[in-house]
Amino acid sequence: MSEHHEQTFWTKYIFSTDHKVIAKQFLWLGLFFLAFGGFQALLIRWQLAYPEQPLPWYLLGNLFYEGGLMTPDHYNVLFTMHGTIMIFWAITPMLIGAFGNFIIPLQIGAPDMAFPRLNMISFWTMFLASIVLLASYLLPEGAAAGGWTSYPPLSTPVGGIAGEGQTLWTLALTLAGTSTLMGAINYIITVVRMRAPGMTYFKMPLSVWGLWLTSIMNAIFVPIIAAGLILLLLDRTIGTQFFIAGGLATVEGGDPLLYQHVFWIFGHPEVYILILPAWGIVSELLSVFSRKPAFGAKVTVICMCTIVVLSSIVWGHHMYTTGMSPLLGKAFMFLTLLISIPSSIFFLNWLGTLWRGNLHFDPPMLFAMGVIWVFGLGGLTGLYNATVTSDIYLHDTMFVVGHFHYTMAASVLFGGLAAIYFWFPKMFNKKMNPLLGKIHFWVSFIPLNYVFFNMMVLGYAGQHRRLYNPSEYEFLAPISDLNISITIFAIILGFSQLIFAYNFINSIINGEKAEANPWKANTLEWTLEGPIPHGNFATTPTVYNGPHEYSNPAVKDRDWIAQSEPMPT
């Protein structure tokens, strides 16, 4: 039940325990790092298209690099921090931190998270992690430069990268993982213990399912990477040698490959940790904007649960080229190909939801349908990386970069943007401009596909990733023009996000007041008038219907019925 809370500015907006305020804090943090990481991507693309040439925006280039010229060391920092920031500081806060916080209590009929103070501490731990990460840029030796995976020996002080940038990277990621673990515990307990009367598991919206399963995976796998990061931190600070071997080691027992196993036992589930919320959100939005029940909703849930289980035993496909036993490689290949079956089933369920629906092409629907396309391409191209024989050639090429950008960047970015456009009226009590939203979609969708698809073309042609200057290789000379055109489209993609930034900020400041349920959706959050008070519901709702009751013939006066509204007899 909602309660009256006497609050100061600090307790209402800064150190708030209201899940909705914390959601906005995570959203602003994620959007800041999305812009920062995106700017780094444009710098990377400039170097690949015009290697060893000064940046065109000379003054800005001078701000970062002497004479506006990027060195190999600068380039190593760029791709390391770009990958780290986009995965852990942009996507994770924006999708899991913001929308996990905002919609889970509202959609299950709870007054708040199970542990509101832990929720607040989770955000401020992430904020501290952000300060540590950004501080690494101010060090004389620069930020981390060992790749976003930071494999030893590159990330160790012995035979690797000197300076404290890599150390602060390791510390920042450990703090970010601690924040994620706090949120995961909160989300899991909230869903298990605080669902409204009548809200059975299969009456939960698919977006809650995606976020809940993601939280379960975070609770299982984040401690694993945390252990690896702490061991790496000890190697860098007090002289242990967990990941140092060979002639550089002074004691026996260290093994660089141990880090790779620990990293990917977390790292491949991390792909599903990031994309499960997007899958759930897309499944829900397709139903809302097709005005019909989500096709095979229970099967979709079962498929997502199956993927959660299988994701824990496929990490070895990242390590085919490490000298792995062929028999072990074959086992990982079989399991990785097996996980594509449940993915394909719920992908077909998305198409089943669209089939013969009354489609409304509002901005959330456009971005949700965009996820179908980019995830389809990302999933299909992943089969080549899952197969030992093709992966040996494609491993560490631009093909892999294009594939995982389709899967992790494009799919999760479009899913996050769909969520922002959909829940913005409820989150900020204002309307976004729908025309600008549609323009934003098309000027993002077209260049994004050109960039990521042609990255795979480059990889198939043999261009390895992380090359400072591809033109040094004669066999890559015929595709230099493709690198230039990819960069041009990447710049278009980057600057098109200014449309979204203007629409987002201007709508908060000057937007029209939003009605309570602009999308005619039937989940519980749309039954509340905004702004929603701390405590959410005046009385705990009772749930009678599923989350996709659209175009039910029993309802005569409209094409939807709320979950908390008894079905007419």
**Residue 47: pLDDT over 80:** yes
Residue 220 is part of which domain span? 12-527
* CA–CA distance, 568 with 422 (Å, rounded to integer): 28
Q: Classify residue 321: in a domain, yes or no.
A: yes
Q: What is the pLDDT of residue 6?
A: 64
Beta strands in 421-477, from DSSP E residues, in sequence order: none
Q: pLDDT-based confidence at 64, cuts 50/70/90?
A: low
Which range has the worst mean pLDDT, 235-249, 277-291, 416-430, 438-452? 235-249
The residue behind tokens 């829940």 is 423
Residue 565 lies in a domain: no
Confidence of residue 412 (pLDDT cuts 50, 70, 90): very high
Q: Is residue 211 part of a domain?
A: yes
For 125-163, the pLDDT digits (tens) are 999 999 999 999 999 888 999 999 999 989 988 877 778
Note whether residue 546 is domain-resident: no
In this predicted structure, the answer to whether residue 248 has a pLDDT above a threshold of 90 is no
Q: Report the CATH number at residue 193.
A: 1.20.210.10
- Look at residue 5 and tell me if it is in a domain: no
- In this predicted structure, what is the pLDDT of residue 372? 96
Are the C-beta atoms of residues 13 and 107 closer than 8 Å to each other? Answer: no
- Given pLDDT bands bounded at 50, 70 and 90, which one contains residue 60? low
Q: How many whole angstroms from its chain centre is CA 283?
A: 17
Q: How far apart are the first and last CA of the chain?
A: 29
Domain count, the chain: 1
- Please name the residues in contact with 14: beta carbons below 8 A apart, sequence gap of 6 or more: none
Joined together, the tokens standing for residue 150 give 């930071």
Task: Compute the CA torsion angle 226, 228, 230, 235 (nearest 10 deg).
Answer: -170
Question: Could you give the CA distance from residue 216 to residue 235 in angstroms, rounded to a whole number?
Answer: 30
- Within-domain flag for 550: no
Q: Please report whether residue 177 resides in a domain.
A: yes
- CA–CA distance, 65 with 60 (Å, rounded to integer): 9
**Radius of gyration of the chain, Cα coordinates, nearest whole angstrom:** 24
410, part of any domain: yes
- Consecutive H or E run containing 48: helix 19-49
